[in-house]
Structure 1
Amino acid sequence: MSFSISALVLFGLLLAMLLRSKAVGIGGATVAILFGYYLSRTGIAAPIDQVMGAIAHAVPALDK
């Protein structure tokens, strides 16, 4: 069974949890930056989409 979740929703939830727990470090900053790029859809969003897509396709292949 598989399902998909929007990267925007995923990063939004991660950012909310990191801000709530006051765990703002390099990881939290990265999540915030990625959330901002997905939200604003700037010119750099397309390359980020490609990287995230490649990661999304690579993760299931790790099981094999």
Structure 2
Amino acid sequence: MLVSMSAVLLLGLLIWFLLRIRYLRWVDALLCGTFGFLLARTVAAPLVQGVLDGVNGFLGHLNF
């Protein structure tokens, strides 16, 4: 779990940096996928899932 948390932190900082300098390519999409996979294995996963479910519920109630 400790290695997973440090990998999530490192990859999160790298993604933030790439977004900050506006330099994203297909390799960066793979990096973001790896970040998501590792994030799903941490203790933050239920919080992220709850936020996504809340956003999904909110968007589902909107009528266009």
Per the normalisation by structure 2, the TM-score is: 0.51
Give the CA deviation at 1:28. Answer: 1.3
**Which residue does the alignment assign to 1:15?**
15
Q: How many residues align?
A: 38
Unaligned runs of 5+ in 1: 42-64
Give the CA deviation at 1:27. Answer: 2.1
**Could you give the per-residue CA deviations for residues 8-59 of structure 1, whole angstroms, max 9, x where no partner exists?**
1110011001111111102211111111111123xxxxxxxxxxxxxxxxxx
**Letter in structure 1 aligned against 2:30:** T
- Give the match's secondary structure for 1:18: helix
Unaligned runs of 5+ in 2: 42-64
More helix by share: 2
Find runs of 4+ consecutive structure 1 residues off by over 2 angstroms: none
Q: Which structure would you say has the larger Rg?
A: 2
- Give the CA RMSD over aligned residues: 1.9
Cα separation, 2, equivalents of 1:35 and 1:17: 14
**Which residue does the alignment assign to 1:26?**
26
Of structures 1 and 2, the one with the larger relative CO (CA 8 A, separation 6+) is 2
